[in-house]
């Protein structure tokens, strides 16, 4: 997002610029700060500006544009910027257009904060009077006299920009006499209408999907809750099986022991009975043989 805030001194440009910086994560580019930073950094453009300022001259537009060009190439200006204090004249606006065109960038919006000059003067007079009553020091540039001069300078130099940007359909005018938060909301609505910022559709989607997600989570929770119940059945089943085995076990063991004992008894009985049977058989055989001999003798 690349925007310009226009408005006379005391219109609230500085306050709104800070709020926009916080809300959209963009940077505020002040020509004064940029000039001082370029001079301190010793850039080619900064050194040129330093030489001009040292001789008491005004920094020409091409030098200021060169400093802006270097500044908007920096990483923190990638998401966008607000130009503060530039352009002040139509030639500066034209130079800025050329610079952005060269960089394949576009100006998204020019927001004019329109205020009542008489009301601004009254505000300054009231503030100065209150500061003097409290014994506070009044800044030399914060008096009704200085403000009157600055307003005259704004009308002569900067007001033509309103017509310039209006012709290019970039200008949006907002009532700067509203409360600060109302002005902020009005700027946001205008930026949305111009397509400079995207509406937060994801927030609406999340709100819409919320109940469905909640229901899904609830269903999952119920399903998970059932699982422990199923698990508790398993130990019960195992216990039942164990109990059954415990009952059947001794019975099975008893049967096994009984069979073993029976086989042992039969074996013992057979062993005991075997000699008797053998003796009986021998006796019976001998008796039979003796009978046969007696029979043979009788025949002779």
- pLDDT tens digits, one per residue of 246-288: 444 444 444 555 556 656 654 665 555 555 554 565 466 656 6
Q: Quick one: pLDDT at residue 123? A: 82
Is the distance from CB of 11 to CB of 124 less than 8 angstroms? no
Q: Would the annotation count 14 as a binding residue?
A: yes
Structure tokens at 66: 């060169």
Q: Would the annotation count 184 as a binding residue?
A: no
Q: Give tens-digit pLDDT for 220-255.
A: 555 554 554 444 444 445 445 544 444 444 444 445
Residue range 146-168: mean pLDDT, rounded: 90
User: For the chain, how big is the Rg over CA atoms in Å?
Assistant: 54
Q: Would the annotation count 32 as a binding residue?
A: no
Q: Give tens-digit pLDDT for 43-70.
A: 888 888 888 888 777 788 888 899 999 9
Percentage of residues of the chain with pLDDT beyond 90: 31
Q: Would the annotation count 178 as a binding residue?
A: yes
What band does 72 get if pLDDT is binned at 50, 70 and 90?
A: very high
Q: Would the annotation count 231 as a binding residue?
A: no
Looking at the predicted structure, is the pLDDT value of residue 155 above 80?
yes
Half-sphere exposure of 230 (CA within 13 A, CB side): 6
Computed over every residue of the chain, the mean pLDDT equals: 77
Catalytic residue (choose from 139, 200, 220, 283): 139
123 is catalytic: no
Catalytic residue (choose from 13, 48, 71, 170): 13
13 is catalytic: yes
114 is catalytic: no
150 is catalytic: yes
Residue range 182-196: mean pLDDT, rounded: 92
Q: Would the annotation count 12 as a binding residue?
A: yes
Strand 27-30 to strand 81-84: parallel, antiparallel, or no bridges (unpaired)?
parallel
Is the distance from CB of 198 to CB of 80 less than 8 angstroms? no
């Amino acid at each position: 997002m690349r925007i310009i805030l226009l408005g006379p001194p005391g219109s609230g440009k500085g306050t709104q610029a800070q709020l926009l910086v916080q809300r959209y994560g963009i940077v505020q580019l002040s020509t004064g700060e940029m000039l001082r930073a370029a001079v301190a950094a010793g850039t080619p453009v900064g050194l040129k500006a330093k030489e001009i300022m040292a001789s008491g001259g005004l920094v020409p537009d091409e030098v200021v544009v060169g400093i802006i060009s270097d500044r908007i190439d920096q990483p923190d200006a990638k998401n966008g910027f607000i130009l503060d204090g530039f352009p002040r004249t139509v030639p500066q606006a034209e130079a800025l257009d050329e610079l952005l065109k060269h960089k394949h960038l576009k100006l998204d919006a020019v927001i004019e904060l329109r205020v009542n000059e008489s009301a601004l003067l009254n505000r300054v007079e009231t503030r100065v009077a209150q500061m003097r009553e409290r014994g506070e020091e009044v800044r030399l540039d914060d008096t009704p006299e200085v403000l009157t001069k600055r307003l005259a300078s704004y009308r002569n130099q900067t007001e033509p920009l309103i017509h310039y940007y209006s012709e290019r359909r970039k200008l949006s005018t907002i009532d700067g006499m509203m409360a600060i938060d109302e002005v902020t909301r009005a700027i946001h609505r205008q930026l949305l209408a111009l397509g400079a910022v995207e509406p937060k559709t994801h927030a609406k989607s999340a709100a819409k999907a919320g109940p469905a997600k909640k229901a899904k989570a609830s269903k999952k929770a119920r399903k998970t809750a059932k699982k422990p119940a199923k698990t508790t059945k398993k130990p019960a089943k195992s216990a039942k099986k164990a109990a059954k085995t415990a009952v059947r076990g001794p019975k099975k063991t008893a049967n096994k022991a009984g069979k073993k004992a029976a086989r042992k008894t039969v074996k013992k009985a057979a062993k005991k009975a075997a000699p008797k049977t053998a003796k009986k058989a021998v006796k019976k055989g001998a008796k039979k043989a003796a009978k046969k001999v007696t029979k043979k003798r009788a025949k002779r």
